[in-house]
Amino acid sequence: MTGTPLPPVVLASASPQRRELLGRLGIHFTVSGPEVEEVTHGEPREVVLANALLKARSIAEPGNLTIGCDTEVVLAGRLLGKPEDALRAHEYVAQLSGRRHLVLSGLAVIGPDPDDVRTGIAETEVVFRELTREGVDAYVATGEWEGRAGGYAIQGAGSAMVDSIEGDLSNVIGLPVPLLADLAPELRIPAGTDVPEPRGAG
């Protein structure tokens, strides 16, 4: 790969967490927020993959390397999605209390040739501590749940609710870096890259 120029990289996401994770890899890229109607029901792995592809395809142009990603929280086989209000956020966090859940990310990379479509799915198991009603109230009051699948952010105040994690932390934050390295070797992401957690809520 040495000496081969990298095509323009475009991230199909409005997520500040994904922008920061990609930026910390030292990759120059631009951002284009996709305007798509996301799939919200169905088999979880199919949903995240479909949404990642929708996002990437909505902005892909020949000559660019386009990255699309969708991250969802799955509890007992059910997609939790993003809570629309504080009441639903409280419901989600209370449901996660003391339980194991799965964080799934669908990743789609479209190469400079539009027919070059690469996809994959990352999954991470997260276990929450047993939370009190007061603890759930306090977390929801932070507002960190807004726009977050499952109603929490693992790299912010939500980290205090987590008992254990098995798998890739960057996947839970919102961009599975090891999977991206596999799907887009031209980005030359070193194997085993340890990506620091983004600052603040994510």
Contacts of 22 (CB under 8 A, 6+ apart): 11, 29, 67, 175
Q: What is the DSSP-derived secondary structure letter of residue 185? A: G
- Is residue 70 annotated as a catalytic residue, yes or no? yes
Four-CA torsion 125, 127, 133, 136, nearest 10 degrees: -50
Q: Is 169 within a domain?
A: yes
Kindly name the residue from 70, 85, 137, 194 that is annotated as catalytic. 70
What tens digit of pLDDT does each residue of 95-131 get?
999 999 999 999 999 999 999 999 999 999 999 999 9
Residue 196 lies in a domain: no
Check whether 202 has a pLDDT greater than 50: no
Query: Which among 200, 80, 199 is positioned nearest to 128, based on CA atoms?
Result: 80
- C-alpha angle 13-73-135 in degrees, rounded to nearest 5: 110
Q: What is the DSSP letter of 8?
A: P
> What is residue 155's predicted lDDT score, i.e. its pLDDT?
84
Q: Determine the Cα–Cα distance for residues 140 and 46; give it in Å rounded to an integer.
A: 29
Residues 38-51: tens digit of each pLDDT? 998 899 999 999 99
Q: How many domains does the chain have?
A: 1
Confidence of residue 173 (pLDDT cuts 50, 70, 90): very high
**Is position 200 within any domain?**
no
CATH number, domain at 175?
3.90.950.10
Residue 202 is assigned to a structural domain of this protein: no
- 168: amino acid identity, one letter: D
